[in-house]
Amino acid sequence: MKVNGKSMRSIWPVGDAAVKVIDQRLLPYQFKVCELARAGDAEHAIRTMMVRGAPLIGVTGAYGLALALRADPSDAALAGAHARLLDSRPTAVNLRWALDRVRDAVVELPPSERAAAAWEEAGGIAREDVALNSAIGANGAEILRALHNRLRRTVNVLTHCNTGWLAAVDFGTALSAVYAAHDKGIPVHVWVDETRPRNQGLLTVWELAAHGVPHTLIVDNAGGHLMQRGQVDVVIVGADRVTARGDVANKIGTYLKAVAALDSGIPFYAAVPSPTIDWELEKGEDIPIEERAPSEVLEVAGLDADGNTVRAKLLPEGSAVANPAFDITPARLVTGIITERGVAEPWRLRDLFPELPPTDD
């Protein structure tokens, strides 16, 4: 997508010995590109949320494993780097998938060929992700087109967190649907949840503004009221993980929007590329929920009166804080899952992937 009129992705290779990423912790205030030249850089980028969003985390991990093999292509180094990178964000099933894929592509090769093959595999994952997200956008846009055809006015979408191209390689997931609809001339307006504690909604505002999509920032508390008053036509979110039965693990607060959407009769969709679907796992309750640092809750980043970045501390260090990073939206609250293959009710999700082995039951 575009930044200052220039086409941009969230991660791109520099020759064959490093990748560049945008330091997303500095957005929307500062646009800074960082080079990741070692596996440790990639691990650090994932752990500190310099990069965020399931697809981008996966691609960053894949390039990280390739960088590790450039330093040491041994079996031990491969296993060690795989484990360390995986540990940098245990909830993200995409990360495991991408790391496994790179490992599987190179493990049978002689060590001298591994780094180049891993680099090629990581690039392939990135290219496939762009294709996946483009297809998700096209499928999601059809939902917005149908709503527009029925309502004959601007379609109001509510979204949570950031699911745009910053969270992917390009296009994004939930926002890909918005971009595709907007680019096809379907009038859309997006209610953007601030998304405490990390305020990723501000990234969504930044993206939408850069692309010219009408939008309004709201606090996380406001969405239910807007739904009650008929000001939301559809909720579309992304996911960190979707289980086989369609339970959706996503940024904390997603469940509150889903249960309110049901209460107001508003459709609720999760837009995910298929690598985000964990076919091995049935119940959302079995997904471990990361408890993140209290400082995420206690400190809010912004600009001071002079335009310098500042962190406002809400309460003293040591205040009692709980900070669960994700919640689970049960499938019964989910109208449909938007994938690159099409849109399906949760219980029909597997039907979109006929190549999967039949389930036991």
Binding site for a second copy (CB under 8 A): 28, 191, 194-197, 199, 202, 205, 214-226, 228, 251-253, 255-257, 259-260, 263, 289, 297-305, 310-315, 319-324, 326-328
Asked if 87 is an active-site residue, the reply is: no
Shortest Cβ 107–a second copy spacing (Å): 38
Q: Which of 206, 284, 209, 197 is nearest to 239 (CA)?
A: 284
Choosing from 41, 240, 247, 278, the catalytic residue is: 240
Shortest Cβ 178–a second copy spacing (Å): 15
DSSP classification of residue 134: H
Contacts of 19 (CB under 8 A, 6+ apart): 11, 12, 13, 35, 36, 42, 60, 63, 67
Rounded CA separation 276/342 (Å): 15
- Closer CB to a second copy, residue 90 or residue 302? 302
Helix axes 75-87, 93-106, angle to 10 degrees: 170
Shortest Cβ 319–a second copy spacing (Å): 6
The string of DSSP letters for 228-297 reads HTT--SEEEE--SEEETT--EEEETTHHHHHHHHHHHT--EEEE--GGGEETT---GGGSPPPB--HHHH
- Closer CB to a second copy, residue 85 or residue 333? 333
- Closer CB to a second copy, residue 65 or residue 235? 235
The string of DSSP letters for 162-194 reads --SGGGSSSS-SHHHHHHHHHHTT--EEEEEE-
DSSP classification of residue 222: S
Take residue 84 and report the two structure tokens written for it: 């360390």
Shortest Cβ 212–a second copy spacing (Å): 13
Q: Which of 129, 128, 91 is nearest to 250 (CA)?
A: 91
Shortest Cβ 326–a second copy spacing (Å): 8
**Residues taking part in catalysis:** 240
